[in-house]
A and B are shown apart, each in its own frame.
Chain A
Amino acid sequence: METLLQILSPDFLLRNSVYTSILVGFACPLVGVFLVLRRLVFMGVALPQISSTGVAVALSAPLWLGLRHAAHSSQSEHTMAFIGSIAFTLVAILVLAFLERRGRGQPEGRLGTAYVVAAALSILILSKNRYAELGWLDLLKGEVITISNFDLTLTAIMLALVLGALALFHKELLLVSFDRVLAVTLRKNVIFWDIFLYLLLGLTVSLAVLSVGPLIAFGFLLIPALTAHLFARTMRQFLLFASLIGGSLSLVGFWIAYTWDFPVGPADVVLLGVVYGLAWVIARIAGLTPEKRRSRKTPIMT
């Protein structure tokens, strides 16, 4: 308890890391809900990896161009990393979404290939970069330690924008996700709303990867949403539970990592996995799994 109070203290040395983890923990699951509902879970795994490849490329570009690394301030480096991350994420998401709409080939195969190629490419790029050990590998491993005030503020503002957009346009985003044909008959521009959702998704993934790394990003995108889905009876509950699970477990994960000297990312993700497993068992015992719910449904009323 004493450690927890220490972590939450404004004087805590790693306070920016705590705040960023909690922000990502609360925000990512709200976007992840759409990934789960649209059955794009694999995309939630592949995108953060592709985004981190974008970071690696952007940070290595000055070196490839013969520019000295020292000439760049950490803020310009951060801006370049953000541009790399968002560019790779958005291009990937739009290409994958386009292929998904055409409905040809195997989506899982495409996403699996994108994931593994992106992961390998990141390692290759960083293996040839002598500055890789200056924090970039830590980022890719999910070591949330050095987060500046600028990073924290940028993350907070951008995530607030994403969440504001989700809150304002949730009915359009849910409609085109749930029933595209109805959306078309109601004269909704389904392509526009799809792209809008993908932009929000890409922005969130990029920010999360840049702040806390791909491991935490995809952990928080998917696992809280999957856990919340076991218990939620309404859409509002689904969003609320997912966000609360993500936010609270990010704090608990940081506390565990700090107490036992673990890296934050893996600690967070393992904790999310354990809680999901326990929640699934509880839901099964309580008869809340979809199969049990359906077998218990009310008799046919005509």
Chain B
Amino acid sequence: MDSAIITFENLSIGYHGEPLLSDISLAIARGSFTAVLGSNGSGKSTMLKTILGLIPPVAGRVILAGDSGASLIFGYVPQTTNLDPLYPFTGFDVALMGAYGRVKPGRFVPASERAFTHECLEAAGAHSFAQARFAELSGGQKQRVLIARALVTRPEILVLDEPTAGVDAAATRAVLEFISRIHREKEITILLVTHDLPIVRKHAQHVIWLHQGRALHGPVAEMLTPERLMSIFEMEVR
């Protein structure tokens, strides 16, 4: 529970050699629920892309500790708006993509993986609309399908990029309750990027707050006190 699943060592991240966040050293514990907070343009998405290996660090390094030395398996949940509605995929098709990492190129997806995908859709409460066209689902339904897809990858860590952006309040509550339940029951590490402070207070254990090119890291109880929030906001106003 206490071993680090992701460690940043003197990490600077950004684009084309220009750091957006500098000199970050912190560790995300295996089995923890960590929220990444910050204003627009503070580097939340850049940090996520660096962790996922989409962009290289400007300096320092990211250490990913997969089980028994293997590569870390990510369950990635994007914002639904990042997925093009032009593709005529059903919810099941989208969820099944989570199994593609285990199926070699040129091979068809075996029945066992299809059955497991059905199980994950069931667990995410998405089975009833899994045969509908993904683009025509509501925001909350899409998120459930994407969470099911992330579970199909058999992840060690779930990375959620503002999963409730554009989703109504009731659906947001349901999605977050479900993520919390997975965290508790399966002991999966959760890394959640969000703007939503009440969500963080209710569900997360740790916070990484990005501002002014720096990353503050600590338990929710310490990071979200009124005094701490005031000092952060004052720094941002200045």
Contact = CB atoms under 8 A, between A and B. Distances in A.
Interface string A230-269: 0011110110000000000000000000000000000000
Nearest to A190: B54
Contact of A172 (B105, B132, B170): B105
Contact of A178 (B71, B74, B83, B138): B83
B117 interface: no
Contact of A175 (B52, B97, B135, B136): B97
A39 B105 CA distance: 24
A207 B50 CA distance: 41
Interface residues of B, number: 46
A298 interface: yes
B89 A182 contact: no
Contacts of A301: 128-129, 138, 140-141
Given A178-B89, A188-B100, A234-B90, A298 B53 contact: no
A103 to B, nearest CB: 11
**Interface SS majority for chain B:** mixed
A114 to B, nearest CB: 23
A235 B76 contact: no
A177 B97 CA distance: 12
Interface in B98-122: 98, 100-101, 103, 105-106, 109
B84 A37 contact: yes
Given A179-B97, A185-B76, A234-B90, A171 B84 contact: no
A294 interface: yes
Contacts of B90: 233-234
A297 B138 contact: yes
B83 A179 contact: yes
Contact of B97 (A182, A233, A238, A299): A182
A71 interface: no
Contacts of B85: 290
Contacts of B171: 300, 302
A290 B86 CA distance: 9
A172 B86 contact: no
A187 B171 CA distance: 31
A294 B142 CA distance: 13
Interface in B70-98: 71, 74, 76, 78, 82-90, 93, 97-98
Interface residues of A, number: 35
Given A229-B88, A302-B170, A302-B171, A297 B83 contact: no
A28 B90 CA distance: 25
A179 B88 CA distance: 14
B133 interface: yes
A36 interface: yes
A186 B88 contact: no
A184 interface: yes
Interface string A280-302: 00000000001001100111111
A238 B135 CA distance: 15
B87 A298 contact: no
B196 interface: no
Interface in B157-198: 159, 168, 170-171, 173-175
Given A184-B53, A233-B133, A235-B88, A169 B78 contact: no
Interface string B4-24: 000000000000000000000
Given A168-B106, A171-B100, A188-B100, A298 B84 contact: no
B153 interface: yes
A182 B76 contact: yes
Nearest to A294: B136
A169 B105 contact: yes
A182 B129 CA distance: 22
B158 to A, nearest CB: 11
B100 A186 contact: yes
A154 interface: no
11 contacts: A178-B84, A179-B83, A182-B76, A185-B52, A186-B100, A186-B153, A187-B101, A290-B135, A299-B138, A301-B128, A302-B171
Interface of B: 49, 52-54, 71, 74, 76, 78, 82-90, 93, 97-98, 100-101, 103, 105-106, 109, 128-129, 132-133, 135-141, 149, 153, 159, 168, 170-171, 173-175
Across the A-B interface, the 3 shortest Cβ-Cβ residue pairs = A186-B101, A302-B174, A300-B138
Given A187-B71, A235-B93, A290-B85, 8 more contacts: A168-B106, A178-B97, A181-B82, A182-B76, A188-B100, A188-B101, A300-B138, A302-B173
